[in-house]
Chain A
Amino acid sequence: MNAIPLGLHIMKERLTAGRMMVIWPLLAMFILFSSWGLSDPKVNLPSSIVIDSAYDVMFVSTAFIIFSATLGAVLISFDGVSRDRLSGVLEIKLSQPIKRSIYAKALLFGHWSAIFLPVMILNLISLLIIWYRLDDLPSIEEFFIYTLGTGLLLLWYTSIQLLASSWAKDLGSSIAIGLGLWMVFTLLWLVLTTVVAGISGVGVDDLNSTDYIRIDAIMDLFSPNGVYHHLLEMPLDDVNRGMHPAYISLAAILWSIIPVYLFTNRIERIYP
């Protein structure tokens, strides 16, 4: 039995859910408006960020992807398991002759694709906006890395949220865990990084110092958003935080394997 057809069925169900009425405009505003604004030839950005290519626009606009798409992944997946568990439908599903590992993969694929598809559609539209405004397009390699990075980021958030959903005994706990982790990685990670830097004896008064950038790069390996940025920095010649690509790849692999393994294992052992 294959997980893909069932996953596509779950994706269709999620894409037609009422919450997409909120997620679509949210994604559109963040992704399209950021592309429009950042591709303005007269744009002035803080911290001496210079935008002179289509990929630069895409790279800087990932800050908005991190805000909107990851939140979308949380909102789509928070009841991926818990709702069925609470309603009793999970009992019916688990009593079917499907291997639980395949069901877990279908859940992952269905929820991941339900957020990845809208994000990629909007990303393609934003490429057209950048082309129109800057008369430039990213190379195939740059677009591949961007798509891969975004797909992985959404997979990490989806698998973490589904894992939380399978742990939680009610919908409130599930969304509390998911949003809590989202806030830690998206909003509080900078605070955590400065605390670690302070404890390590690195001054936090100059965030552009070599030592702080080094600590920041290491800390980023432990956050999905950080690994995402590391991945997207790879094609950029003028950005180098001193992190070897092997470490970045290893972090990306571990972030891909561990939550997915934990979720699959959880579904194999879950009692309805």
Chain B
Amino acid sequence: METLLSLSDVSWRHKVRDFSTWKPWAQRDGSGIYSIDLEIKYGTIIGLIGPNGAGKSTLMRAICGLYDCEGFDKSCEDRRTQIGYMPEQVRWEGRTTVRHALESIAMMREDEVDIQSIIQTVGLSSKSEELLDNLSQGMRQRLSLACALFGNPKMLVMDEPLNGLDPLAQRAFSNLLKNLAKKGVAIVISSHQVTDLESLVDEVALLHHGQLLIEGTLNKVRKDLDLEQDSGIVEMICSATGVDPEEISLELSRDNMLPFKNLGGEEE
């Protein structure tokens, strides 16, 4: 399958406050992503998996052109035109209606957007004149999805999109993504639960400490890591980093879990 977006040695470090008496504005490099190589192909659904703080959201924002980092075969502007982005748990609020909110986002694009059809696609027809303040979290997720679908994107990047959706909506959501993938749309979707993604994704990419540990189909990843078919993220991380699953605690950031590369200057 043809490659839509290629990432080569993509790195990004968040700036964190390095407060001192004489330099209260000082900043230093914090956590981020490090040397990510990834190829995203047309019509493929890639599941980004990893524990909290692994760098999934950072990688997604970098892909969507929110961070000005190098290593992509397309410019930030091109990526923003071609990619629809759905961030995690957007808290839509205010005394404006769903339709008005969508119109204001649509005005930030040059291409014509058929708002009514997108509202129908995401199941918000009965809520289009509802105030944002009155929406449930599930409805807010649908609204974020609607924004991601603007401009017939070639690629969708979705950060924990299943959170807040009821089981029926999750099923409908999965079906929508599968249909889009059949039409050639590449989809990158993140979750910290493999079970959420298992029936949906073609490939997974396992992130930990900002590094891409392994990628491929779920079966291939499990086979490469010598794991059983029902194993989850914890087993995958432990296998990839060489830590015994029986010995791990909540302290997932122990140095001995760092796999192949040392970030240096990493915030603890």
A interface residues (Cβ-Cβ under 8 A, vs B): 1, 5-6, 9-10, 13, 16-18, 83, 86-89, 91-98, 103, 271-272
Contact = CB atoms under 8 A, between A and B. Distances in A.
Nearest to B101: A89
B33 to A, nearest CB: 14
A13 B109 CA distance: 19
Contact of B105 (A5, A17, A88, A92): A92
A20 to B, nearest CB: 10
B107 A9 contact: yes
Interface residues of B, number: 34
B77 A97 contact: yes
A97 B85 contact: no
A13 to B, nearest CB: 6
A138 to B, nearest CB: 38
B83 interface: yes
Contact of B93 (A16, A87, A93, A97): A87
B109 A96 contact: yes
A95 B92 CA distance: 16
A229 B145 CA distance: 50
Interface in B87-110: 87-96, 100, 103-105, 107-110
B144 interface: yes
A16 B104 CA distance: 15
29 contacts: A1-B108, A1-B110, A6-B107, A6-B108, A9-B104, A13-B96, A13-B100, A13-B104, A17-B94, A83-B94, A87-B90, A87-B91, A88-B89, A89-B92, A92-B90, A92-B144, A92-B147, A94-B66, A95-B80, A96-B80, A96-B108, A96-B109, A97-B108, A97-B109, A97-B110, A103-B108, A271-B67, A272-B61, A272-B87
Interface of B: 61, 64-67, 77, 80-81, 83, 85-96, 100, 103-105, 107-110, 144, 147-148, 150-151
Nearest to A270: B66
B113 to A, nearest CB: 11
Contacts of A6: 104, 107-108
A95 B65 contact: yes
Contacts of A91: 61, 66, 85, 87, 90
Nearest to B85: A95
Contacts of B65: 95
Given A9-B103, A13-B100, A88 B90 contact: yes
A224 B108 CA distance: 32
B98 to A, nearest CB: 13
Contacts of A83: 93-94
B61 to A, nearest CB: 7
A16 B132 CA distance: 14
A97 B105 CA distance: 10
Given A1-B110, A16-B95, A271-B67, A96 B105 contact: yes
Contacts of A16: 95-96
